[in-house]
């Protein structure tokens, strides 16, 4: 079932959306931007319904701060607000919001907008492949075709998130700091060595004949094609 994060301090709206959507998605509430940040540090919702005016800050600022991570993890955003200014709407769409709903809203129309976004996401992102690697996103299943036989990789949740992030951006070099921010969350304090350890474990499990996780000296890691002249380096 899809997961929706409602960032709004209005309990009536939360209860209304939860009631209407109980058979379609799981709803979680962040009653403040701080609470929403804490939730996103350990969870990846399919959709965020974002009120842009809360007591502890601006939703536009929250969107801008988390924009890179939302894009990397394919988290859609729907703006919900009493602000009817055209400038706010344009600003939201420029940042990447898929829709903008004004308060007060008609519940049935609001739910149709939410369900429409979730349905489009399901159609566009269920399975993707990279040569001999197949990922089934709905079940978090990763398999590799070895001599005509598909073998499933036994990955931990963090190893899976690391692999999917890098697979979606083939040949892009991610620094340790970027990986910590995008996979573990921006507010978690941890050692760089933790990233190295997870990359090392993932690298041993990735038995593809075409791809490996490459160490870019002093820069970070990338999901790269294997070439005859490429040797996998030890973590720096």
pTM for the whole structure: 0.58
> What angle do the packed helices 59-72 and 33-40 form, to 10 degrees?
10
Report the percentage of the chain scoring pLDDT > 70: 95
Residue 36 falls inside a structural domain: yes
Q: Are residues 175 and 97 in the same domain?
A: no
Write out the two tokens for 88. 């706010």
Residue 64 falls inside a structural domain: yes
What is the predicted pLDDT for the residue at 233? 44
Quote the CA–CA distance of 118 and 152 in Å, as a whole number.
Answer: 27
Instruction: Give the residue numbers spanning the domain of 132.
Output: 127-225
What is the predicted pLDDT for the residue at 236? 40
* Residue found by looking up tokens 């002093």 in the block: 218
| Domain stops at, among 124, 139, 159 | 124
Write out the two tokens for 120. 């489009």
Q: 124 pLDDT exceeds 50?
A: yes
Number of domains in the chain: 2
CATH number at residue 48: 3.40.50.2300
| Domain stops at, among 91, 109, 124 | 124
| Domain stops at, among 124, 157, 183 | 124
Quote the CA–CA distance of 41 and 187 in Å, as a whole number.
Answer: 7
pLDDT in tens, 91-106: 999 999 999 999 999 9
What is the predicted pLDDT for the residue at 69? 84
| Residue 232 CB burial class (10 angstroms; 0-12, 13-18, ≥19) | exposed
Residue 143 falls inside a structural domain: yes
Write out the two tokens for 191. 């050692």
Residue 89 falls inside a structural domain: yes
Q: Where does the pLDDT of residue 5 fall: very low under 50, low under 70, confident under 90, or very high at 90 and above?
A: very high
Residue 51 falls inside a structural domain: yes
What average pLDDT does the structure give for the chain? 89
Residue 60 falls inside a structural domain: yes
Q: Are residues 162 and 102 in the same domain?
A: no
**219 contacts 192 by C-beta, under 8 angstroms:** no
Q: 230 pLDDT exceeds 70?
A: no
**137 contacts 125 by C-beta, under 8 angstroms:** yes
CATH number at residue 160: 1.10.10.10
Residue 144 falls inside a structural domain: yes
């Amino acid at each position: 079932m899809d997961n929706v994060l409602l960032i709004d301090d209005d309990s009536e709206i939360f209860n209304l959306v939860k009631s209407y959507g109980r058979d379609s998605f799981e709803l979680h509430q962040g009653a403040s931007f701080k609470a929403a940040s804490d939730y996103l540090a350990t969870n990846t919702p399919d959709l965020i319904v974002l009120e842009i005016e809360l007591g502890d800050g601006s939703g536009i600022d929250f969107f801008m701060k988390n924009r890179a991570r939302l894009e990397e993890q394919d988290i859609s955003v729907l703006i919900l607000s009493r602000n009817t200014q055209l400038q706010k709407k344009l600003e939201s769409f420029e940042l990447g919001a898929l829709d903008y709903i004004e308060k007060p809203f008609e519940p049935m129309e609001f739910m149709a907008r939410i369900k429409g976004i979730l349905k489009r996401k399901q159609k566009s992102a269920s399975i993707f492949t990279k040569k001999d690697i197949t990922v089934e996103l709905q079940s978090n299943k990763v398999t590799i075709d070895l001599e005509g036989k598909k073998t499933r990789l036994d990955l931990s949740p963090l190893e899976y998130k690391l692999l999917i992030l890098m697979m979606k951006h083939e040949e892009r070099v991610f620094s340790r700091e970027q990986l910590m921010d995008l996979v573990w969350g921006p507010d978690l304090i941890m050692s760089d060595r933790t990233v190295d350890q997870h990359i090392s474990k993932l690298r041993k499990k990735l038995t593809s004949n075409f791809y490996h996780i490459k160490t870019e000296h002093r820069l970070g890691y990338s999901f790269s094609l294997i070439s005859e002249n490429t040797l996998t380096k030890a973590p720096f």
